[in-house]
Amino acid sequence: MSTIAPQFRLSRFIASLFDLIFWVLLIFSLVGLPIVFIILFYIKLPIINGQLMTPYLSMTWMADPSRTLPIVKTFIHTTIFRVMVFPGFGFAALLAAATIFVERKFLAKIQLRVGPLYCGKIEGILQLMGDGFKLMSKEIIIPAKADKPIFWMGPLLFVGAAGAFVSLIPVAPGWVVANPNVGLLAVFAIIGFFPIIAVLTAWAANSKWTFIGGLRALHQMVAFEIPLILSLLGVVILSGSLNLSHIVESQQHFWWIVFVPIGAIVFFITIFAELERIPFDLPEAESEIVAGWLTEFSGMMYGLIQLGTYLKLYAFAGLFVVLFLGGWNGPMVWPPFPQDIITHGITIGPVTAKFPGLPLFDQEMLNGTLWFVIKTVGVILLILLPRGVFPRVRMDIALHTGWYKLIGLAFINIFIALGLLYAGVLGPGGLLQ
C-alpha cells in the first residue's frame, strides 16, 4: 500500500487546475498561435469550388458540409499526409505495433503457451499500449562516463534512419513518400548507415558489454551488406531500372521470384542479419553479453529502439515484396465505388443527402494496398518463424556464411539473370515483355 502519497486536499487540487489552465493559455497564445501562423504561411492552400481555402474558410466546414469532403480529399493528397499517415509513419508504425503483438502470440503458440493475455479483454490485445506506458514512465539512466550527446542521439538517429528507409517503399501506384529515380541505391545507402549508428552508440556508452556488442553488430552487418546488394542486382538487371515503382510496374504479368529464386533466398537470409533477429542476433546475445549494444538504454530510449527495429522489419519485408513478389500487383478484388452515390447521393426516405467530392480513394489504389498488405504480412510471418525454431549462431559461423557462401550464391544468381537477359527471354525485346 502506498504510504508516500500525500493527502488529498480539494483546495490544493483546484489551485493546481487553475495553475495548469493559466500556463496552457499563456503558452498557447504567446507561442502556439504564432507557430501555427508561421507554418500556415508555408503550406500551399488549395482551391476548392473556385475559392482559395484560407485557414479561416476551411474551418467553416461545419457550417457548409459541401466543403467537408473536398477539404479532406485535398489534405489526403498533400505530402505531409503521405509522410505522417499513409504510406509513411502512421501506417508503418501501426503495422510495426501489430507485428510485435502477433510475434508474441505466434511464438507463444509454437511454444505451447499463451503469450500476453490479461491486458485488454480479448486475448491481451492492449498489451502494447501497456508496454508503451510503462516505457514512458521509466527513468532514463545514463552511465556517468558515457559520451552524453552521442548517447542521447543514438536512438533518434536509429529511428530517423528507419523512417527514411520506410519512406522509400511504394505501397500503391502513386502512393510513396519519396520516389527518386535511383530509389534502390538510396535504400542501400540507408542500410549502410545502420552499423555506424550501432558502433557510435555502443562506443559512447563506455561499457565493456556494449563495446563487444557494438563490434559484433558492425562485423555482422557489414559482412551481410555485400550479399544483400549483390542479390538485388539480379532484379535490377532484369527489370532495367532502379526506381522501385518502376520495378513493381514491370512485374505486372509475373513475379521476379520465379526467375531469380536464388537471389530471393539470399536476400531473405541477409534480412535476418541486418535486423539482428534470431538466428543472427549476436549483437544482442543475452546469455553472453547481457544485451549487447542495447545494454545501457532504459525507458523511452529503449522504446525508440524497439520502434526503429520493427519499422526496419516492415521496411525490409516491404522491400522483399516490392522486388520479388510483385508489390501491389494482383487481381482486382476491391468492388468499385457505386456510381449513383456520386451523382445522386444517398436517399433515405424523403431526405436525399449529397456528398460532393466522393470517392476519397480510388479503386485501383485500394486494391493495390490490399494486395501489398497481404503479401507483406505473409513475408513478416515467415520472418517471425525462425525465432521459435533456431538457436543463435556463433560469430565465425555468421561471418563465414556472409563472406563466403552468400556472396557465391549471389554471383550465381547474377549469372542466371544475365543469362536470361542475353538469351532474349526477358528484358526489352524479349519473349515475355
Stretch touching another protein by CB under 8 A, among 93-101, 173-181, 380-388, 407-415: 380-388
Rounded to whole angstroms, how far apart are CA atoms 239 and 1? 66
Cα–Cα dist 312/164, whole Å: 10
Task: Tell me which residues in 210-249 interact with another protein (CB under 8 A).
Answer: 212
| Strand 346-348 versus strand 47-48 pairing type | unpaired
Which region among 17-25, 73-81, 242-250, 385-393 touches another protein (by CB under 8 A)?
385-393
- Choose between 278 and 319: whose C-beta lies nearer to another protein: 278
Return the sign of the alpha-carbon dihedral for residues 299, 300, 305, 306.
Answer: positive
Question: Cβ closer to another protein: 229 or 384?
Answer: 384
Write out the binding residues for another protein, residues 253-292 only, by CB under 8 A. 278-279, 281-282, 285-288, 290
> For helices 261-275 and 406-422, what crossing angle results, to 10°?
150
Name the residue nearer to another protein (CB basis): 340 or 396.
396
Q: Residues 114-143: x/- map of binding to another protein (CB under 8 A)?
A: x--x--------------------------
Binding range to another protein, per CB under 8 A, among 14-22, 42-50, 193-201, 389-397: 389-397
Please give the size of the binding site for another protein, defined by CB under 8 A. 33
Residue whose C-alpha cell is 522486388: 323
Contacts (CB under 8 A) with another protein, residues 181-210: 208
Q: Is 396 in the site for another protein (CB under 8 A)?
A: yes
Instruction: State yes or no: residue 420 binds another protein (CB under 8 A).
Output: no
Q: Given the complex with another protein, which of 284 and 367 has the nearer CB atom?
A: 284
Please work out, in degrees rounded to the nearest 5, the angle formed at the alpha carbon of residue 329 by the alpha carbons of 325 and 334. Answer: 130
Nearest to 170 by CA among 88, 75, 230, 66: 88
Q: Which CB sits closer to another protein, 231 or 367?
A: 231
44 binds another protein (CB under 8 A): no
Angle (CA) 78-81-85 rounded to 5° is 160
Please give the radius of gyration of the chain, using alpha carbons only, rounded to the nearest integer. Answer: 26
Q: Supply the minimum distance, in Å, between the C-beta of residue 323 and another protein.
A: 23
H-helix segments, 325-394: 339-343, 363-384
In order, the DSSP letters of 83-111 are HHTSSSHHHHHHHHHHHHHHHHHHHHHHT
Binding site residues, another protein, CB under 8 A: 1, 107, 109-114, 117, 208, 212, 278-279, 281-282, 285-288, 290, 385-397
